[in-house]
């Protein structure tokens, strides 16, 4: 079938559906919603059998949905309507949720239902759930709806009438007044729930040190206590604030936009507050239940180095801390080292927001790319044990290349990879000119980097980008990856494989040293960073401020 995806942004779910539908041999094109004339032109040009709208912030024009079937993906069960569906579910502590695929109609989210799928809602942040359980359910529901449509015999079911079990209600936009935290009265559980319901957008509006900030994300603290509302400590760039009965970690802040002022963007909390932050003790994570963005564990011969950075963005500081943890892990007597293994983003490369906020963005870009290159180099040159990159969530740009530095790349089914830099106006580094062609061949490496399209886990497996796809729910991925790593470590072939990889690395180094790949990549990147006329700067500014880019 010819399917036109219409979305307000080519976001993770749209990218995943793009990959899944192409995988099933449909012809898929994408059109951004908002500009109605462009949408009409795309409909005329592509002549689709069906429109699927995975994520819409604006309604489709009536002449489009009345001329051909338009299926809307609503992140809520049938009967649930309104623009803040998932926010309300998390805000109210729902344990189960669902996704409905319905036909566009005059009333928002009220059209007949083509398919639905349910999903668990573990107590986690909204964007993590959206890219995990909710996306899994959305893919199941869309594929079922598309198959039903293709059958030509299925009648979509009206949302009311006899036998319809779901409550029928439209919930309003979840406003800041409802999200607001009362630090004096609310306990950690309630505060974390509010923070999770507002992650990654719009955040919770709050006051900190006399200024207005949006709080983005939050994790419960185990031991620290203080006067409710007081700032207690810092850890890994996050801020600890006391609640009525405990404390929470606030990883990122975004300053409230002043009237007429430029758009603001999220930053690690300590960076955002800068010199306004009074001295606070740095509280290291000491206990296995303490929140931290990097943690190390062992299961016999397997080392597990987990990391999880908001938005998958890795600043100079993140890269340096992860490299230090990696080096420490190498000191341990393990034979398999797993990198990642968490839920959500593996990595999306250098931290464009931190770079944007820096006094000298070119110099910060340079520091960041060198820091991530150092990390990638450490993985590439690990020859005494097997390394595995375990991707429970998506990766892009340098984040994909970080994964490719490992001997094996394991992905959860449903992961989307964007192994390219072109859309950010960059040539890229992270030794990609060594590791990408080595895995997929020169022609495929060129195609991936030039076409700049998302790659699903299945396609990645076929091209050699990925070695293993784990079909499991997001909550299971870490355990499954650890179990498989244990099997690899116990395998009688491991010693031979490790010796062979050491020999292969040495042979590659003789052919062309890694330092040469890096120097050549960085020579291009240096020009792109330090020449203000290069498109990278305008593209980065637009990306972090969520504005339309100048186009590439
Ligand atoms: N630096 C800073 N923030 C980043 C980031 C990066 N490299 N990559 C992603 N993010 C942030 C996004 O701004 C977004 O923030 P929000 O929560 O405030 O909305 C969040 O992470 C999730 O990303 P989003 O773009 O909404 O997810 P997506 O699944 O729709 O798209 C990408 C994922 C990776 C395709 C897209 O974010 C992207 O192009 N990132 C930039 C990749 C890049 O060029 N890296 C630098 C070169 S190494």
pLDDT digits (tens, 9 = 90+) for 428-465: 999 999 999 999 999 999 999 999 999 999 999 999 99
Nearest CA owner, ligand 1 atom 8: 348
Mean pLDDT of the chain: 95
pLDDT digits (tens, 9 = 90+) for 405-433: 999 999 999 999 999 999 999 999 999 99
Atom of ligand 1 nearest to the CA of 430: 48
Q: What b-and-e string marks burial along 176-207, b requiring 16 or more CB atoms within 10 Å of the CB? A: eeebebebeebebebbbbbbbbbbbebbbbbe
Percent of the chain clearing pLDDT 90 (strictly above): 92
Q: Which H or E run includes 103? A: strand 96-103
What integer pLDDT is reported at residue 5 of this predicted model? 97
Out of 311, 364, 427, give the residue to mutate to test ligand 1, the one with the largest number of ligand atoms within 8 Å of its CB: 311
Reply yes or no on whether the pLDDT at 167 is more than 70. Answer: no
551 Rama class: left (phi>0) / alpha (psi -120 to 50) / beta: left
Ligand 1 center from residue 59 Cα (angstroms): 25
Reply yes or no on whether the pLDDT at 552 is more than 60. Answer: no
Report how far Cα 14 is from the mean position of its chain's Cα atoms.
13
Report whether 108 contacts 70 (CB < 8 A): no
Ranges assigned E (strand) in 238-323: 238-242, 247-250, 252-255, 267-268, 294-299, 302-307
pLDDT digits (tens, 9 = 90+) for 25-75: 999 999 999 888 999 999 999 999 999 999 998 889 999 999 999 999 999
Q: What's the predicted TM-score (pTM) here?
A: 0.96
Ligand 1 center from residue 335 Cα (angstroms): 33
Q: Shortest CA distance to 304 belongs to which of 432, 480, 468, 472?
A: 480
What integer pLDDT is reported at residue 49 of this predicted model? 96
Alpha carbon of 363 to those of 224, 366, 532, 537: distances in Å?
37, 5, 12, 12
Strands 416-418 and 455-456: antiparallel
Ligand 1 center from residue 300 Cα (angstroms): 35
Report how far Cα 121 is from the mean position of its chain's Cα atoms.
17
Report whether 98 contacts 116 (CB < 8 A): yes
pLDDT digits (tens, 9 = 90+) for 202-224: 999 999 999 999 999 999 999 99
Nearest CA owner, ligand 1 atom 15: 311
What integer pLDDT is reported at residue 34 of this predicted model? 84
Reply yes or no on whether the pLDDT at 105 is more than 80. Answer: yes
Banded pLDDT at 177 (limits 50, 70, 90): very high
- Ligand 1 surroundings by CB, under 6 angstroms: 11-12, 127, 200-201, 266, 311-313, 348-353, 394, 396-398, 418, 421, 424, 426
Please measure the distance between the N-terminal and C-terminal CA atoms of the chain and give it in whole angstroms.
30
- Alpha-carbon distance 122 to 305, whole Å? 23
- Alpha-carbon distance 1 to 150, whole Å? 8
Rounded to a whole number of angstroms, the CA Rg of the chain reads: 24
pLDDT digits (tens, 9 = 90+) for 254-305: 999 999 999 999 999 999 999 999 999 999 999 989 999 999 999 999 999 9
Banded pLDDT at 158 (limits 50, 70, 90): confident
Ligand 1 center from residue 309 Cα (angstroms): 11
Report whether 188 contacts 246 (CB < 8 A): yes
Banded pLDDT at 161 (limits 50, 70, 90): low
How many other β-carbons are positioned within 10 Å of the β-carbon of residue 291?
19
Q: Shortest CA distance to 326 belongs to which of 401, 367, 382, 373?
A: 382
What integer pLDDT is reported at residue 110 of this predicted model? 80
């Amino acid at each position: 079938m010819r399917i036109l995806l219409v979305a307000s942004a080519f976001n993770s779910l749209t990218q995943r559906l793009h990959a899944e539908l192409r995988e099933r041999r449909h012809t898929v094109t994408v059109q951004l919603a908002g500009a109605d004339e462009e949408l009409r032109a795309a409909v005329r040009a592509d002549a689709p059998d069906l429109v699927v709208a995975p994520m819409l912030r604006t309604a489709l024009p009536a002449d489009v949905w009345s001329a051909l079937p338009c299926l809307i993906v609503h992140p809520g069960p049938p009967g649930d309507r309104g623009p803040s569906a998932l926010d309300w579910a998390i805000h109210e502590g729902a344990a189960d949720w669902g996704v409905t695929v319905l036909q566009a109609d005059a009333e928002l989210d009220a059209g007949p239902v083509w398919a639905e799928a349910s999903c668990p809602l573990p107590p986690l942040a909204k964007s993590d759930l959206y890219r995990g359980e909710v996306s899994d359910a959305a893919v199941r529901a869309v594929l079922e709806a598309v198959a039903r449509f293709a059958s030509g015999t299925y009648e979509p079911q009206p949302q009311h009438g006899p036998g319809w079990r779901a409550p029928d209600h439209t919930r309003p936009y979840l406003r800041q007044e409802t999200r607001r935290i009362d630090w004096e009265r609310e306990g950690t559980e309630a505060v974390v729930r509010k923070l999770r319901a507002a992650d990654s957008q719009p955040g919770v509006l709050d006051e900190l040190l006399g200024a207005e900030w949006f709080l983005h994300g939050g994790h419960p603290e185990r031991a620290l206590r203080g006067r409710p509302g007081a700032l207690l400590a810092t850890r890994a760039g996050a801020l600890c604030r006391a609640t009525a009965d405990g404390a929470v970690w606030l990883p990122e802040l975004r300053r409230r936009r002043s009237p007429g002022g430029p758009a603001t963007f999220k930053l690690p909390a300590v960076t955002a507050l800068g010199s306004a932050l009074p001295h606070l003790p740095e509280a290291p994570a000491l206990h296995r239940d303490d929140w931290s963005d990097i943690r190390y564990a062992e299961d016999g011969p397997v080392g597990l180095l987990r990391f999880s950075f908001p938005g998958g963005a890795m600043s100079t500081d993140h890269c340096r801390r992860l490299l230090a943890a990696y080096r420490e892990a190498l000191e341990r007597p393990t034979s398999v080292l797993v990198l990642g293994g968490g839920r959500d983003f593996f990595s999306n490369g250098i931290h464009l927001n931190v770079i944007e906020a820096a006094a000298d963005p070119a110099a910060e870009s340079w520091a960041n790319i060198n820091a991530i290159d150092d990390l990638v180099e450490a993985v590439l040159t690990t020859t005494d044990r097997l390394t595995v990159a375990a991707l429970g969530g998506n990766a892009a740009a340098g984040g994909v290349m970080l994964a490719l530095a490992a001997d094996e790349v394991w992905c959860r089914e449903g992961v989307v990879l964007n192994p390219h830099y072109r859309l950010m106006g960059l040539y890229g580094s992270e030794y990609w000119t060594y590791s990408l062609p080595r895995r997929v061949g020169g022609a495929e490496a060129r195609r991936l980097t030039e076409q700049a399209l998302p790659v699903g886990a299945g396609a990645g497996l076929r091209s050699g980008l990925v070695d293993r796809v784990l079909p499991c729910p997001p909550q299971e991925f870490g355990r499954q990856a650890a179990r498989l790593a244990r099997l690899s470590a116990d395998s009688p072939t491991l010693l031979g494989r490790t010796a062979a990889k050491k020999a292969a690395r040495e042979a590659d180094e003789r052919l062309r040293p890694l330092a040469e790949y890096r120097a050549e990549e960085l020579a291009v990147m240096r020009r792109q960073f330090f020449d203000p006329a290069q498109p990278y700067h305008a593209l980065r500014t637009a990306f972090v401020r969520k504005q339309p880019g100048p186009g590439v």
